[in-house]
Chains A and B, each alone.
Chain A
Amino acid sequence: MTATAVTRKPVRWGRIALHLGCLAALLVMLYPLAWLLATSLKPADEVIASLDLLPRHLEWSNYETAFEGVNDVSIWRLLSNSLIIAGGAVIGNVISCSLAAYAFARLRFRFRGPLFAFMIATIMLPHHAVLIPQYIIFNQLGLVNTYWPLILPKFLATEAFFVFLIVQFMRGLPRELEEAARIDGCGPFRSFFQIVLPLTRPALITTAIFTFIWTWNDFFTQLIYLFDPDKFTLTLALRSFVDASSTSAFGPMFAMSVIALLPIVLFFLAFQRFLVEGMASSGLKG
């Protein structure tokens, strides 16, 4: 008995040290978020004068200012612009990527191997290689400064990462179900909609959440395609603060940053399981 006690003790200390280390790392990592929240509530004079993380008194007017918006565009407008783009992207990606994934995962067709390899290769393709011609195309169509350049590509399964994610998931589904259905006279379309798609739900949810968060956060594409302040997203509106970096606007700027971050935080808290597992499964079995 003493022997076990002796051998067990160092293990336990190691474990406590491990937890302490992780907690310390976590505190450092969460600091920027705490800082953001605190600064969004600080009055202008405290932002530069005080070194404390916590504000001495809460300045809610920062949020009032933020709600008035930027460039005479109300925050509701910015918020709904962001939602339209992110929502459109989610619908587009879920539909188009699941269709393509089903073909790659379950159907036979000519050139399947080379096309699949090409699809995988486009995951690694830098966006910049197609950026300028895409811009020219949308410009010719008169669609620059509309939401179409941000939404339309998602309906054409251009985000191969999600096609790949769904393919991986579909390959894990038992084939017997479809084979049985096929024997009963079920064609590929019914088989897709009634058998495979419902079973693929976890991968579709992962796709939807990641698409939402990535589109919401996206800056570069929005920067290029949108220039009318009326059409700005929250992310782009924050850019106005980038140029005018006066300290007096610090509080409202970070209040707006908090508002822009809120949907992602909520999504993360609600769907962390899907997100973490979606990320974990995307890399393996490849």
Chain B
Amino acid sequence: MTTTAIPAESQRATPPAPKRRPKREREGAAWVFLSPWVLGAVVLTLLPMAVSLYLSFTDYNLFDPPRWVGLRNYTQMFTEDPRYWRSVVTTLTYVVIAVPLQLALALVVALALKSMKHGKAFYRSAFYAPSLLGASMSIALVWRAVFNDGGTVDNLLGTGGWVNKPGWALLAVALLTVWQFGAPMVIFLAGLQQIPAELYEAAAVDGAGKWRQFLSVTVPMLSPVLFFNLVLQTIQAFQVFTPAFAISAGKGGPADSTLVYTMYLYDRGFVASHMGYASAMAWVLLLVIGIVTVVLFRTSRSWVFYASEGDR
């Protein structure tokens, strides 16, 4: 690709204040660069969102044309489908267990590594590894075996197989997520390293102990990163699928206790061929994630501290 049009002003020998280029040419170039993204955004994001909204008001099985049913999918979901509510409660429980535990562990380990002189790079990589491996079916299968009847956890704690106990199977799924605390940890660590050492020195001079320094320097300075991790991990947790699928052998059991939202959506749409119902579920998920994100952003104003806004 070569640019053919060389504008006249570029031939000037001394351009003291480079005059503005003909705007249109740059603009055209921008759209060329942007074209794959625009195509993807329209054909694979915006259009599907509109279609999915439309389908959510229809009965559609992929073979016959969609049949308009108004709000029936939604009313059925909210009033007549106990499994739907089951999946909602299961997902919320999972989010509430997994996300705080994962972030707390990530923060504790990041704090531990921060002060390290030797071995920091090694630990950082080692703790990060599960974040990549854990998303795989391989590890999900290991998890099922380790938490199964006669598995390692049973032998250590004598709990019997968690995988077969309605109250415990979800905890096993959550622990797989917690195990992958490496990604938020790395982000925490990067955030911790950007806190200027002078702040700690100043706090120490003012007589602040370690705990006080943590509360008055580390927490506020780290709050944007904490917020970022919280939003990202929460959104991801709402969409958990693979570990729940593997641990319950694709069925969401025992007694629907690991039937997370996306698994029920998959079941309705791709197993039972109720695409309209699944679309309605997808839109509720979209709205809930949107609302949760907005709420997090709203509350963040009271606890997230941006250094550039404050008086430094």
Contacts and interface: CB of A to CB of B under 8 A. Distances in A.
A276 interface: yes
A243 interface: yes
Nearest to A188: B29
Interface residues of A, number: 100
A253 B246 CA distance: 13
Interface in B220-241: 225, 228-229, 231-232, 235, 238-239, 241
Interface in A186-200: 186-190, 192-193
Interface string B121-148: 0011111111111011111011101100
Nearest to B10: A185
A99 B40 CA distance: 13
Contacts, number: 287
Contacts of B116: 15, 18-19
A48 interface: yes
Interface in A122-162: 122, 124-134, 136-137, 139, 153, 155-158
Nearest to A131: B282
A235 B137 contact: yes
B219 interface: no
B93 to A, nearest CB: 19
A232 to B, nearest CB: 12
A189 B3 contact: yes
A129 B283 contact: yes
Given A32-B143, A272-B125, A193 B282 contact: no
B172 to A, nearest CB: 12
A interface majority secondary structure? helix
A242 B141 contact: yes
B37 A157 contact: yes
A257 to B, nearest CB: 4
B142 A220 contact: no
Q: Which of B132, B145, B245, B266 has the most chain A CB atoms inside 10 A of its CB?
A: B132
* Closest 10 pairs (CB-CB, A-B): A156-B40, A187-B3, A133-B48, A257-B138, A280-B190, A100-B37, A109-B30, A133-B51, A130-B48, A107-B30
Given A36-B142, A283-B187, 13 more contacts: A36-B138, A39-B145, A99-B33, A103-B34, A109-B26, A132-B278, A133-B47, A133-B51, A133-B55, A216-B136, A224-B266, A257-B138, A280-B187
9 contacts: A26-B127, A33-B133, A125-B286, A132-B52, A136-B51, A137-B44, A239-B250, A265-B133, A280-B190
